[in-house]
Structure 1
Amino acid sequence: MRFGVLGPLEVWSDEGELVPVSGPRPRALLAILLLDAGRLVPVERLIDGQYGDEPPAGAANAIQAHVSRLRRGLPQGLIEFHGTGYLLAVDPADVDVHVFERLAREGRKALASGEAGRAARVLKDALELWRGPALADVPFWRAQVARLDEVRLAAREDLVEAELGLPEGTSTAELRQLVEANPLRERLRGQLMRALHAAGHQAAALEAYEEGRRLLADELGADPSPELADLHLAILRGGPARPRHRLPAALTSFVGREEELARLAGLRGNRLVTLTGPGGAGKTRLATESARDGNACFVDLAPIEAGGQVARAVLGALGVRETGLHSPAMPAPDPLSRLTSALADQTLLIVLDNCEHVVAQAAALARAVLDGCPGVSILATSREPLGLTGETLVPLAPLETPPPGSPAGDWARYPATRLFAERAAAVRPGFVMGAEAAAICAALDGSPLAIELAAARLRTFTVEEVAGRLAEYGPFKLLSRGDRTAAARHRTLHAVVDWSWSLLTPEEQEVARRFSVFSGGATLAAVERVCGDGDILADLVDKSLIDASGGRYRMFETIRLFCAERLAESGDRAHDRHLAYFLELAQRADPLLLRAEQLTWLERLSAEDGNLQAAVRHAVQEDSRAALRLIAALASYRWLAGRRGAAIAASARLLERVGEPPEGLEEEYVLCVLQAAPEATPEQWGRAQQIIEGIDHELRHPFASVMWGMVAGPSDPQSTMRRGRLLGRDAWSRAVAVLGEALVGQFDGRLLESEPGLERALAEFRALGERWGTAQALDALALIASKRGEWARARGLWDEALGLLEELGAADEIMDILCRRAGGLAREGDLVAAGADVRRATDMARTTGWPALVLVARADLARLQGRYGEARTCYQEALEYAKPGLFATEGIRPLVLTGLGRLAEHDGDLAAARDWHGQALATASRDLITELAEVAEGQAGLALLEGDGRRAAYLLGVGVALRGMAVAGDADVARISEGARTLVGAESFAAAFAEGAALTRAAALAALG
């Protein structure tokens, strides 16, 4: 059912038929219940509404009788009794007075926001609900009737105010009638004065003021308000009759653009300033906040459809309109001329908002006003510049977001997260910013509108759910709800971007679509190759669809996703051109990465890493041969720049797609297998092994020799590489061959023999200026120095190696060296410095992934410092990462198992210690001599715990034999040595130790086995 109180009390059925309600008292009772529809009305209020201050005896019983009578005429259950009062169980949306009040509030809000057109439409809808005086046929409760009349009049005044802000203005005749009916309402009188003045009737406007002044003096003995007096003075001076404040009211706090606000404050001497940026960047809010302290007029050009209406919109916002009647002999004055005349002597800031769709006309207006009105300045907002001489541009970049892994304490420093936190707290009290919310801000590219829309979704979803839906559905579907009172094109993220798209020419749309294939931006050369016309690119920069900075062009992520949808619809082959360009770039860079220019090319490829990954993804899906070439060409870049993990998933998918190695791309297949490790299958490793063993020519990608040695280990194919069969005759290949042979000597335990080769490789790499090879040689020499006890030399070599790897950004190898240096520092006895290296490696691992070596270093340090529980946890985690069967980790597993054995010794658990040490011995490769030495020393510790000092001394000697030199400073070795001497005596210890140390390598291995 529907109910009406804005006029005679009426009730309509669902079919629209009138439902009779008879009797003055029951009708009055129904009116009272309708005014509080859906809420409990106490009996005392019903009595007061019916009878006033002097209710008769038995009034409560009378109310009950009236209710019974009402119930007979209305559907059953509509009037409910709840002990202390009655409730009319209807939706307020079915009662005209509640609909009216809601619309009146919406209209007032739109008016305060500067949306005059929308405010006028909503307020007209509200006032059309009135069918006459409220409750005209209900003779009771006059106070409520008076309240409704006042609300109606206030809404009428708001409608007049909205109409005064429109180019067509309002009816002066209707305004006169309203003023005559309400002669003491100053707001109405001021509106009449403004309307008359705008229509060219200055004398009539002044007379309306005089009439109001006399009435106030005669009736109230008062003077006009300051606002009315100011308006009178403005009309006397011939200036625009406008209200004192024309800026949209702030409905939320201002967050995130404080630096730009300060910059605008410093530009107040500039007469034309234009805020540029993509939709949703916060241009309007920044402009209004900047203008709030001065004499400013806000003009929203968004509703304007034709350029010729721009001047009229400004006239309307100022309250200056054209005179009413014109003839061919006396045509209407040009709106722009009338505007410059009205502003000629004014000091004013005009905020021209949303200029992009009428940019030419807005520019013409700005030029005319700035030329003819020396006291007027303009602050414009637009997605492209107005293009006038003297224009100062203030581009709005996305809000800064915290980088991944930033500590929680830093989030308050970043505008994007501060904005999200404040808006989220408004809809979810008690909200606390977390890592998921910070990631949402980053995923939304720091767009203020997108962040506000995402925060608003916390009314319905948790932060984790918002993040998940953003990842699954993308921003446009998630952020599909916004402020209902906003203009349609500002209500959702999709609408904002679609509006920008609609303003582009077909040629601009084509380039924008194609540009969406770039990930992380692009150079001009790349854009011209993939997208076409570079001149159109400049137009897209001007229109804030693309950002240009630092020699690169970038599309904001939300815009890029929108354009990518348009690209998919078009069938354009931009992805193929993108792949071709970046394959060519990778192939050109590959050999240059092994020369002195490697830093330049690493920097260039790092800048294009997003594009390279996108090209790989597209190639894996669409062109397997191109994918193999690209993954192979990027192998040295991925390795040198510490980006190995980025290639694993794509390489594994490609291997699954191609099956057998394609003809002519066998070498590329091997590199793909190497980059897919540890996800490559045994069958794929087998095929790669066959290819390596069958190659009888120089490698097209010489870095494959290094990767095979590092990943697959020093097997027979590596030996053939060392003989030079696969490596070339260039200086880098010769240096790598020397380095490889020396490193294999280290693995075999021939540390002293490998040293001259390492020194030679170091000299050759330094001569080339190649940092990666130099760092490898320095690291190996440092390890020898630390084993020898040359602590200062070891630290110096490691410091230099780390410096070179930091230049490259090789995170994986930086962590490796930090862990090895930590081990050397621990043997030296400097556990504080060792701890600093382990912590740094740990911090890096949190963002790059957990190499097993880092976990082992943490565990070893914790064990030496007596933190046995932490050590055990780290050793056990390391076992999960150090998978058996891979050369890169097979040397780590015995170290982990030995460490667990030593912890069991500390606990006094001999059975567990035997088991761990037995696993370490069974796991250790007979080719990795230094790891076997560690196993021997672990076995020595177990022997000591079992009371066999002589065996402990003997096994320590075996360890020394395997290392090929004396081990100095190791805490465990020192402990075992002291314990063994105590058990067997110094002389017997020396003899047993010497017996073990004198063993040949083969005999030492046999003694362990």
Structure 2
Amino acid sequence: MRATRHLLLQVDVLGPAEVVTAARVRLAVRQPLARALAVRLALARGEPVADDILIRDLWADADAARPTARLRVLASRLRGALGEFSGALDRSPAGFSLRAEPADLIAAERALATIDAVRRTDDNARVFATAATAIDLWRGQPLGDLDDIPFVAAQRHRLQSLQLELQLAWAEAGLALGHPIGPDLERLVAAHPLHERLVGLSALSLARSDRQAEALDRLRSLRHQLADELGIDPAPETVAIEDDLRGHRPTMPRISLPTAAKSFVGRRHEQAELLSDLTRPTLITLLGDPGAGKTRLAREVAAQAVGEGRPVAWLGLAPLHAADNLVAALAAAIGADSNGGSIGQAAELLTGALLVVDHAEHLTAEIGPVIDELRVKAANLSILVTSQRALELSDEHVQRIGPLSATAAVALFCDRSGVEASSAVDQICAAVDRLPLAIELAAGLTRTLPVRQLADRIDDRLLICDAGPWHAGLRTALDWSHELLELPVRTALRRLSVFAGGCTLEAAEAVVGGDGIRVDEVAELLAVLVDRSLVTMDDDERFSLLETVREYGHERLRASGEEAAVRARHVTWCAGLAKFGEHYARLNQRSSLPEPVAARRLRTEEPNLLAALDWCLSEGNDPGRVSEIVAPLSWHWYYRGMMTQARGWLRGSLAMLAPGSPERAAALAALAVQTRFSGGYAEARDIGLECVEIYRALGDDRGLAIALQGLTLTSLGLADEYAALDYAHETELLTRRLNFGVLLGGALNCSGLALRQLGYPVEARTMFEEAYAAWSGLQDDQGMVIAGGNLGIMDFQAGDFAAARDRGLHTLRTARNVGYSVGVLDAFGLLASVEAAAGHHDLAVRLLKTAEHQREEISAPLFIADELAAVATAWTLCRQALGPEADHIAESARQLSIDSLVTELLQDHSH
């Protein structure tokens, strides 16, 4: 006899079922029921399937006479049909198994996974080819020869859905590549007339074939059909396509642009020329020395373009560094969500827009590729760059900005100073080389010196002026402006230079105040600097130094000997901002507000956070403070696409921290959290172990408890429940001794999670009840939501659906009231399982889809095995019951707000 134990068969399911060998030799399994058994076992992919499940799936009449005997007879027939490969069919106490796999299905699934990965790179050619190859795997209707077998209908629907996903990917890529896919799209739409993505693609295809009216008719017809047959409105994506075809393209959200507080004098001709040139797709770079007025001219062009109704975005590069994520910065500049933001997404919003890129001279190598890609992908995009050197890109039009004309220079000085034109004014303008910024600074000096005296003294000053890195005229104006300031105002100016991207009054008071300046004096000092044109204040009452003035102030700060002290106050202020962000993250308000105040504030202050980190890791030599800024803002770095940088900052701080020090332990704890947050559970475990070792050696029991709780969560992420139990138990002992109630609740809850996975429901419930009691004693609503939700899962797993629903609704109400959005999503998951099991599939789908979408938005994925399995089971029940309608309901759920769904659930319960 030939050994068969290691043979592997393949069962093709994307058409009539076929059993073949690894060498692709077909085996004649002629009886349909025997083929169905082979298919059902192959779909289990080598795992045993219990008798009662096979009986239900094959006959749906488990109460028939001797069902187990019937199954064994059928298995015997399959063995006979397999011939020399009969050993592939095995029997164990767990049920029958077949050493086989659905080869064509696996190939199709891998193709879809490849497509999902490749889509992020915008490689449409590869997506198109991969999808086409996978689609060819279908040989007809999936399992078309097994119509009367009970389990086949649900499996066929799943396989058809997979085919449709591949067809959609193929069509989207083909359309992007300009391939003639219209006839194939029409056949797909005929087969799926209510599938919005397909209909939307077909409409775009028609429009690109100059059949605009037909495209709009198709979308209008879809809208009516959805309303009449399903009672729903089109998805936002469909509406966007219709708006696009009607000429209403999606535009950028309204965003604030840098504004100038005073009138624009001196470059009206250049402004008009630029506005004319920028009406067509182009790239123009304004070149000029510091103080030449490049930024001011760009501001005026942008303001005029906005006034004419054109979308405009402003990307300021001055506070950024080469290591920063410029795509994320671009997303922020156009008011887009930067989570995983891509050039393609930015290009869509920038279609037809004017993008101003300011202060590009230090990032020409980094911003060049971004601009090149934008120009390829964004239609009718104009880009205006200000820089001290050209980008050296193809089709770049360089326009040099030099000094003002004599007439324009005098006009600007008189406008800013309020004096009449005179020979003294001519002399002053000439002395500062007619540079706009220098003229404005010189005009500010007239508040201290008469014009004639200023002209005499500024001319003398030129004889001894050291131009330094700037133009001599600008240096002269800056030096004179500085020397004529009162001592406290000079001090405020140089201290303000530590702020990158500006600051609020409160921030200035925290950093500028101290060491000779009272906090209540800072506002008055800022007013003087604004009056002298050294500081600008925008409509949001945010104070900024022009970049050239900031560099000058920084030079003065270093010379003063107080830079370290001022920088330390700036770092402290940034650490306080991070604590504010941590509190905001704990409440998770961002899931229900489109642009919350806290998120917007952190985005605005990000240049300051980066400047503080740079100082700590370089000249400041203060790596111990890095974790104070980085750790509390994990969610912010994630949404800004900067998690890699955040982990890099922490690693950089570790290299400079003494082994075994408290500072190193704190940085390790933060790094472990963020690494776990990114899904790197194995790496997080190693980091956490070192952290625990240090805290043990230091005798810091509180730090040790926190680090052990982190290892508990990491072990759960690694599905190492026994390790999780060990760490949780030690955490529990420590927290009881320390009376650290919040963490005690966490340890007990994690013990419950581990025990639940290991199949000890009674013990798990006890742990969850103790966790609930610990958190309840502290009136910790968030903790009670967590433990209460887990008790609800225990009720559901025990079959007590009524208790599970009551518990889920209670935790939902509490989570909503305290703004704990992850708790709301956890409650959605529990209630979805309950509703699906109870046959309320429409509601279950809406809960599942809303939770899935929101978890992606706030990066709060499920990672506990039985919770993932419960969600998968609920989806399966809903798809089996609803068929294609489940996808339509899921699509409509994208339009739902969390608040509306919560209100619906709680109102229904109250009735």
Q: TM-score, normalised on structure 2?
A: 0.34
Higher relative contact order (CA 8 A, sep 6+): 2
Rg larger in structure? 1
Q: TM-score, normalised on structure 1?
A: 0.31
